[in-house]
Copies of this chain bind each other. A is one copy, B any other.
Amino acid sequence: MRGNVIVGQSGGPTSVINSSLVGVFKTAKDRGAGKVYGMLHGIKGLLDNQFVDLSEHIKTDLDIDLLKRTPSSFLGSCRYKLPEICDNREVYDQIFAKLKELDIEAFFYIGGNDSMDTIKKLSDYAVLVNSDIKFMGVPKTIDNDLATTDHTPGFGSAAKYIAAVTKEIIRDGLVYDYPTITIMEIMGRNAGWLTAATALSKGEDCEGVDMIFLPEVPFNIDKFMERVKTLSKEKSSIVIAISEGIKLEDGRYVFELADHVEFTDAFGHKQLSGSSKFLADKVGAELGVKTRAIELSTLQRCAAHMTSRVDITEAFQVGGAAVKAAFEGESGRVIVLDRVSEDPYICTTSSQDVHKIANIEKKVPLDWIINDGTFVSDELIHYIRPLIQAELSPVMVDGLPRHLKLSL
């Protein structure tokens, strides 16, 4: 007789993070779990006694299919970092008491590298207090910056959306008979995987983007302006992709060069956007051509109307694999994706020690960044291409994609 399980979502949302939630829910139910609880707003919700019995919210097969297609974390998210165990055992005792009270056998956390820190600490604490509750991490992040996994669920759909709208933006730029320069700004503070996905726009029906700048390589404004000038002599419509996180040699973000973006939010974080606007204004002023800055903003992480079927399926699979592993006795581990074959693309799951993953950022290898830091290699394009394949059509109701809403 199995006990109950609990699952939470943490960090930034993705288009397919709920497919992983469904993977955990359905697999746990299928394998005989009692209740499947959902923490609201991650571990913070558990500490605040905020959780739901998921069976009361996912009632039918249609609900399951709607939830797979629902963007943004169904259960809500948080960016809460547990204290070091040596600094504050009280919060751990509180969590474990709560888990005991709920008769929890396994705890699942769907998140990125910050969230895996939670799994690391909780599983460490379980060893310390000799608890047999299993703690498993389920990977997700559009940023694709998790270590030891071939790629992360969420990345493929974001990459597909970015590549598709890049094609559309390139076509839009071709329409007029005067020069235009468009600068697209893509998410990714330290890792350029998503920005690199703009390279997939190139094909038989599209010339692709002209230059790509990732945060892995220092950005030189003068060289950039020189390159744009040269390019503008060769062609009329230019589209350039930059990462929101591009930095100068001296470590400053490019958007910090603009006078008007000293703005920090309520948490003291610099708003990480504005580089495309700064560069578009500069190019427009110096070259006297029409420029446009396009920030894809949150659309790239929530555009569930355009997901990759490969991605949404893998997102489900890592959720299911986490349950299977926990029920077989694993703990303190994270499910990862292993690419076992390139062509045909075949990917399986395995599990890795969470200590090898938590808090580590995987960046784009420097030898995949070519042309003096202005483009990405064919290897990188071949790496991403299988991850954007095939579709899962939205369920359309009265003209719009239908989602599953959590009613509290």
Contact = CB atoms under 8 A, between A and B. Distances in A.
A182 B297 CA distance: 11
A301 interface: yes
A192 interface: no
A176 B77 CA distance: 5
Contacts of A397: 203
Interface in A31-63: 41, 44-45
Contact of A305 (B168, B205, B297, B401): B168
A393 interface: yes
Interface in A170-186: 171-172, 174-178, 182
Contacts of A84: none
Contact of A399 (B205, B302, B385): B385
A71 B284 contact: no
Nearest to A165: B299
A403 B160 contact: no
Interface string A150-172: 00000000001001110111011
B398 A389 contact: yes
Given A165-B303, A298-B169, A308-B399, A175 B73 contact: yes
Contact of A76 (B174, B281, B401): B174
A396 B200 CA distance: 14
Given A298-B292, A405-B206, A175 B400 contact: no
Given A260-B260, A400-B160, A172 B284 contact: no
B303 A403 contact: no
A60 to B, nearest CB: 15
A306 interface: yes
A288 interface: yes
A72 interface: yes
Given A203-B398, A266-B284, A284-B265, A168 B72 contact: yes
A214 to B, nearest CB: 21
B167 A403 contact: yes
Contact of A258 (B12, B163, B260, B396): B260
A200 B295 contact: no
A6 interface: no
SS of A interface (majority): loop
A290 interface: yes
B265 A291 contact: yes
Contacts of A71: 168, 171-172
Contacts of A228: none
A402 B77 contact: no
Query: Which of A168, A295, A399 lies at the interface centre, i.e. has the most chain B CB atoms within 10 A of its CB?
Result: A399
A404 interface: yes
A248 to B, nearest CB: 20
A369 interface: no
A391 interface: yes
A180 to B, nearest CB: 10
Nearest to A166: B400
Contacts of A298: 169, 172, 182, 292, 294
A13 interface: yes
A146 interface: no
A306 B308 contact: no
B258 A400 contact: no
Query: Which of A13, A44, A174, A294 lies at the interface centre, i.e. has the most chain B CB atoms within 10 A of its CB?
Result: A174
Given A167-B401, A200-B400, 10 more contacts: A78-B176, A169-B302, A203-B398, A205-B403, A259-B260, A265-B291, A295-B297, A385-B399, A389-B398, A389-B399
14 contacts: A41-B176, A44-B177, A45-B177, A72-B174, A160-B399, A160-B400, A164-B401, A165-B303, A167-B400, A266-B290, A308-B399, A385-B399, A390-B396, A393-B393
Top 4 nearest A-B pairs (CB, nearest first) are A388-B399, A72-B171, A260-B260, A41-B177
